[in-house]
Chain A
Amino acid sequence: MSTATAGWLQAGLLVVALAVAYRPLGDYLAYIFTTNKHWRVEWGIYRLIGVNPDADQKWSTYLRGVLAFSAVSVLFLYGFQRLQEYLPLSLGFPAVPADQAFNTAASFATNTNWQSYSGETTMGHLVQMAGLAVQNFGSAAVGIVVVIALIRGFIRSRTEQVGNFWVDLTRACLRLLLPISVIFALVLIAGGVVDNVAAAHPVTTLAGGHQVIPGGPVASQEAIKELGTNGGGFYNANSAHPFENPNPVTNLIEIFLLLVIAVSLTRAFGKMVGDKRQGYAVLAVMAVIWVASVAGISYFESGQHSAAAAAAGGAMEGKEVRFGIPASTLFTASTTLTSTGAVNNAHDSLSPLGGGITILNMMLGEIAPGGTGSGLYGILILAIVTVFVAGLMVGRTPEYLNKKIRPREMKLASLYILTTPALVLIGTGVAIALKGEQAAILNPGPHGLSEILYAFTSTANNNGSAFAGLSVNTVWYNGALGVVMLLGRFLPIVWVLALAGSLAAQRMVPASAGTLPTHRPLFISMLLGVVILVVALTYFPAQALGPLAEGLH
């Protein structure tokens, strides 16, 4: 079978698998967050934390719950790493340095999973299992519950209540993430992913050399790493490591996992708002961007622009031969469009324009289909901007899902759209301006700029993948990127939950003859246009100086 045929087959299988899961998982998601029945184990948790599960919260109370939970998560994880040497299963590793512990705590609590450390040489098993993996569940659940609160804002009227954060969080973890993760951890073990609590094994190689092979609870973390669009690898090589991702089958399963919740949430959205076509419309926009990205990266990576690429049949530097180009580019496009950040190849070795697309994917705001929950609330904000633009064109008060989009809602949507570019561009500018931090750039010229731009784009958008070629394990980078991750995650959540409260307070406006239908191809194309014009062009000068300059050189 040719490489191209294998690539098409894998992409086709992936789409079929997502299509099969779409309806049942989407309906289940909607059920989880609409049913009034509590599980017995959930009652126990509510009693333990002193929560009345039947009392809904005002949007600001819900938001304070998100922030309090996340602040405690950061501090807990920070302390865990700093006390590592005193904990069991530490494998003899010392405490993680303070700046790196802060960066890692911020990273995992924000669903970013940016790693300035090498997992197998820094973290003991207990920190991996009870620290980092717990945050993989918690941070993914936070993204999901925020978009559920936003959807409630659309479907409720004349109330300020958008749900109960603690109930939603508990349900997202216990009813969704935990069971699916357990099932797929077993599937990955069957596929060859390791899972043990053993220390490193010293072995003698066939050539007589000595090598240390690190084991660990990998499969159990691999499932939630992808399912929760977290992305932090047990090993430094992430999903390029044969113990994390041994073969093309596990590779396909991992790509499926990192897409499935974000895709299915559009079904849950359509079901909860009472018009499934709304979910299909949003999904259509996501799908167009995803297909374009996969095609674009595959095109540039398959190109034989140099003697080495011509000899290898494409740009094989930094790619695993067991995956080849199609399985690498499918993973690369999916991971950078979902805020996952796991990698099965070296993004720094991508062709300039292929690498440029990965940066663009993240710059779009992780919306196609985006992170668990964060992708859907990101694209719903852009849908609001789209109906506003359409309203300006025809001189009508814009409406979306039977709610008026007034100046208050537009202020919040504008704040959302401006927050991430400000963090990315200001952060990149400051990093370049500082003399000391310039030494961290290992490649000169446009590629060096791309490396810094990638770092700030990845952290501000909570993706977490890295371009490499940039020495980020310094006090300044650990601190600055840690703050960028926290602000890039929680400021948009502030605007989204405030928007949910503002929408929930409104009465429902019946659709009239002048209402723009938001499920038709016209709206889908307009939303695509807004994504490109409003978001992508914001970053065009930075892209032009980095990947475009390098690619067109």
Chain B
Amino acid sequence: MPDVAFIALTVVVFAALALAVRGVERLVGSALEDERVEAPGEGQGAENGVRR
């Protein structure tokens, strides 16, 4: 019984963290689109800036 309780507690904490990810995704989700709107005409052909 205590095992079920503590495994459930672990699952609940990580589920809450997953929910936080969803919430933050909404906040950050449009960042790339916002950037494209701010800088029109620099999309295709411009360097994509990806560096390792």
Q: Does A67 contact B (CB under 8 A)?
A: yes
Task: Collect the chain B residues with CB atoms within 8 Å of residue A102's CB.
Answer: 6, 9-10
A155 part of interface (Cβ distance < 8 Å): yes
Min distance, Cβ B2 to any Cβ of chain A, angstroms: 4
Closest chain-A Cβ to B10's Cβ sits at a distance in Å of 5
Query: Complex formed: what's the CA distance from A397 to B35 in Å?
Result: 16
**Which of the 9-residue segments A57-65, A249-257, A441-449 touches chain B?**
A57-65
Question: Of B3, B10, B36, which contacts A74 at CB under 8 A?
Answer: B10
A469 sits at the interface (CB 8 A): no
Instruction: Verify if A160 is at the interface (C-beta below 8 Å from B).
Output: yes
Contact of B7 with A63 in the complex, beta carbons under 8 Å: no
Identify which of residues 397-443 in chain A touch chain B, using a CB-to-CB cut-off of 8 Å. Answer: 408, 411-412
Interface residues of B in 24-49 (CB under 8 A from A): 24-25, 27-28, 31-32, 34-36, 39, 42, 46, 48-49
CB pair A498 B28 closer than 8 Å: yes
Most buried by B among A56, A78, A102, A161: A102
Shortest CB distance A402–B (Å): 11
A502-537 interface mask toward B, CB cutoff 8 Å, 1 = contact, 0 = none? 100111100000000000000000000000000000
Are B35 and A506 neighbours in the complex by a CB distance under 8 Å? Answer: yes
Q: A158-B48, A507-B49 are in contact. Are A502 and B10 (CB under 8 A)?
A: no
Chain A's interface size range is 35 or more
Contact indicator B27/A56 (Cβ below 8 Å): no
A392 within 8 A of B: no
CA gap between A163 and B51 in the complex, in Å: 10
Q: Are B7 and A75 in contact (CB under 8 A)?
A: yes
Query: How far in angstroms is the closest Cβ of chain A from B51?
Result: 6
Contact segment of A10-18, A335-343, A486-494 = A486-494
Q: Mark A88-105, 1 if CB is under 8 A from B, else 0.
A: 000000000111011001
Chain A contacts of B6 at CB under 8 A? 78, 98-99, 101-102, 479
Using CB atoms and an 8 Å cutoff, list the residues of chain A in contact with chain B. 33-36, 56, 59-60, 63-64, 67, 70-71, 74-75, 78, 82, 97-99, 101-102, 105-106, 152, 155-161, 163, 408, 411-412, 479, 482-483, 486-487, 490-491, 494-495, 498, 501-502, 505-508
Beyond A63-B21, A495-B24, A506-B35, list 10 extra A-B contacts (CB 8 Å): A60-B24, A67-B14, A67-B17, A75-B7, A98-B3, A99-B2, A483-B9, A486-B10, A498-B27, A501-B31
CB pairs A–B below 8 angstroms (12 shown): A64-B21, A78-B7, A97-B2, A98-B3, A156-B49, A157-B49, A158-B48, A408-B27, A479-B9, A486-B10, A486-B17, A487-B17
Binding site for A on B (CB under 8 A): 2-3, 5-7, 9-10, 13-14, 17-18, 20-21, 24-25, 27-28, 31-32, 34-36, 39, 42, 46, 48-52
